[in-house]
Structure 1
Amino acid sequence: MTISDQLLLMCSAIGGLNGLLLAAYFFWQRTDPLTHRLLALLLLMLSVRVLKSVLFYFNPDIGKQILQLGLSACWMIGPILYCYGQSICRPDASWRRLQWQLALPLFVIVMTGMLWPYQNNPQLWGGLIYRVINYSWLFYIGLTVLLLWRTQQRSANALLLTSVRFRPLLLMILSNGLIWSAFFFASYTSYISGALTFSLLLCFSILTVFYREKPTPQTPKAYANKKLTAADAEPLISQLEQWMQQRQPYLNADLTMPKLAKQLGWPSSRLSQLLNDNLAQSFPDHINQWRIQHAKTLMSTEPAMKMQLLAEQSGFNSLSTFYAAFKKFTGVTPARYKQSQPASTSETINPESGTMS
Structure 2
Amino acid sequence: MNSFGIIDLLLFLGISQGVFLAITLSLLHNRNKSANRILALLLLIASIMLIGRIFYPKFSGVLFFRIACFVDTLIFIFGPLLYIYIRRLTFFESPVYRMSLYHFIPAFLHLTFFGWTLFYSQEEVLKMIENGDFGMIYFIVETLGLASNLMYTIMSYGLLQIYKKEEKANLSYSQKVQKYIEMFLIGISIFMILWVISYLNSFFIRRIELAFVSYHLIWVSIPVFIYIVGFFSLKQPEVFRIPIQKKKREIKQRLSGEELEQLKKSLEELMVAKKIYLNNELTLKDLSQELGTTTNNVSWLLNNIHQCSFYDYINQYRVQEFILKIQKGEHFKHTILALSLDSGFNSKSTFNKAFKMVKNDTPSNYIKSLKTS
Which TM-score tier does this pair reach, normalised by the shorter chain? 0.5 to 0.7
Please tell me whether the aligned partners of residues 134 and 184 of structure 1 are also in contact (alpha carbons under 8 angstroms): yes
Instruction: Give the Å deviation of 1:63.
Output: 1.2
Counterpart-to-counterpart distance in 1, 2:172 and 2:64: 47
Larger Rg: 2
Residue matched to 2:314: none
Residue matched to 1:250: none
Residue matched to 1:136: 148
Counterpart-to-counterpart distance in 1, 2:234 and 2:40: 18
Counterpart-to-counterpart distance in 2, 1:162 and 1:12: 36
CA pair 83-206 structure 1, distance change in 2 beyond 3 A: closer
Counterpart-to-counterpart distance in 1, 2:98 and 2:141: 25
1:237 corresponds to 2:282: yes
1:202 corresponds to 2:214: no
Q: Select the residue among 183, 191, 198 that pairs with 2:215.
A: 191
Counterpart-to-counterpart distance in 2, 1:144 and 1:177: 11
Instruction: Give the Å deviation of 1:76.
Output: 0.7
Higher relative contact order (CA 8 A, sep 6+): 2
- When structure 1 is superposed on structure 2, of 46-55 and 141-150 the one drifting more is 46-55
Please tell me whether the aligned partners of residues 46 and 73 of structure 1 are also in contact (alpha carbons under 8 angstroms): no
Instruction: Give the Å deviation of 1:98.
Output: 1.0
Residue matched to 2:360: none
CA pair 2-116 structure 1, distance change in 2 beyond 3 A: closer
Instruction: Give the Å deviation of 1:59.
Output: 4.5
Please tell me whether the aligned partners of residues 34 and 94 of structure 1 are also in contact (alpha carbons under 8 angstroms): no
1:123 corresponds to 2:138: no
Residue matched to 1:41: 41
Please tell me whether the aligned partners of residues 75 and 109 of structure 1 are also in contact (alpha carbons under 8 angstroms): yes
Counterpart-to-counterpart distance in 2, 1:73 and 1:198: 15
Number of residue-to-residue matches in the alignment: 231
Please tell me whether the aligned partners of residues 45 and 74 of structure 2 are also in contact (alpha carbons under 8 angstroms): yes
Please tell me whether the aligned partners of residues 57 and 192 of structure 1 are also in contact (alpha carbons under 8 angstroms): no
1:9 is aligned with what amino acid?
D
Please tell me whether the aligned partners of residues 172 and 283 of structure 2 are also in contact (alpha carbons under 8 angstroms): no
Please tell me whether the aligned partners of residues 56 and 64 of structure 2 are also in contact (alpha carbons under 8 angstroms): no
Residue matched to 2:76: 75
Runs of 5+ consecutive residues of structure 2 not aligned to the other structure: 118-124, 126-132, 202-209, 238-273, 295-337, 345-373
Residue matched to 2:189: 177
Counterpart-to-counterpart distance in 2, 1:180 and 1:17: 24
Counterpart-to-counterpart distance in 2, 1:199 and 1:110: 28
Instruction: Name the SS of the counterpart of 2:92 in structure 1.
Output: coil
TM-score, structure 2 as length reference? 0.51
2:109 is aligned with what amino acid?
M
Q: What whole-Å deviation, never above 9, does each CA across 1:165-205 have from its counterpart, x for those lacking one? A: 44443333122222233333345533333321111223344
Instruction: Give the Å deviation of 1:80.
Output: 0.4
Please tell me whether the aligned partners of residues 10 and 220 of structure 2 are also in contact (alpha carbons under 8 angstroms): yes
- When structure 1 is superposed on structure 2, of 148-157 and 56-65 the one drifting more is 56-65
RMSD: 4.1
2:17 is aligned with what amino acid?
N
Instruction: Name the SS of the counterpart of 2:93 in structure 1.
Output: coil
1:36 is aligned with what amino acid?
N
What are the within-5 Å matches in structure 2 for residues 14-25 of structure 1? 14-25=13-24
Residue matched to 2:109: 111
Alignment identity in percent? 12
Instruction: Name the SS of the counterpart of 2:215 in structure 1.
Output: coil
What are the within-5 Å matches in structure 2 for residues 24-35 of structure 1? 24-31=23-30, 32-35=32-35
Please tell me whether the aligned partners of residues 27 and 36 of structure 1 are also in contact (alpha carbons under 8 angstroms): yes
CA pair 203-174 structure 1, distance change in 2 beyond 3 A: same
Instruction: Give the Å deviation of 1:161.
Output: 10
CA pair 161-27 structure 1, distance change in 2 beyond 3 A: farther
Counterpart-to-counterpart distance in 2, 1:107 and 1:160: 41
Counterpart-to-counterpart distance in 1, 2:51 and 2:172: 35
1:33 is aligned with what amino acid?
K
Counterpart-to-counterpart distance in 2, 1:174 and 1:133: 19
CA pair 180-56 structure 1, distance change in 2 beyond 3 A: farther
What are the within-5 Å matches in structure 2 for residues 252-331 of structure 1? none
Runs of 5+ consecutive residues of structure 1 not aligned to the other structure: 214-228, 246-269, 279-357
2:112 is aligned with what amino acid?
M
Instruction: Give the Å deviation of 1:162.
Output: 6.1
Residue matched to 2:50: 50
CA pair 166-66 structure 1, distance change in 2 beyond 3 A: farther
Residue matched to 1:148: 160
- When structure 1 is superposed on structure 2, of 185-194 and 122-131 the one drifting more is 185-194
Counterpart-to-counterpart distance in 2, 1:118 and 1:11: 35
Instruction: Give the Å deviation of 1:153.
Output: 1.9
Please tell me whether the aligned partners of residues 175 and 201 of structure 1 are also in contact (alpha carbons under 8 angstroms): yes
2:224 is aligned with what amino acid?
L
Instruction: Give the Å deviation of 1:127.
Output: 0.8
1:82 is aligned with what amino acid?
Y
Counterpart-to-counterpart distance in 1, 2:27 and 2:233: 18
Residue matched to 1:64: 65
Counterpart-to-counterpart distance in 1, 2:94 and 2:54: 35
Instruction: Give the Å deviation of 1:144.
Output: 0.1
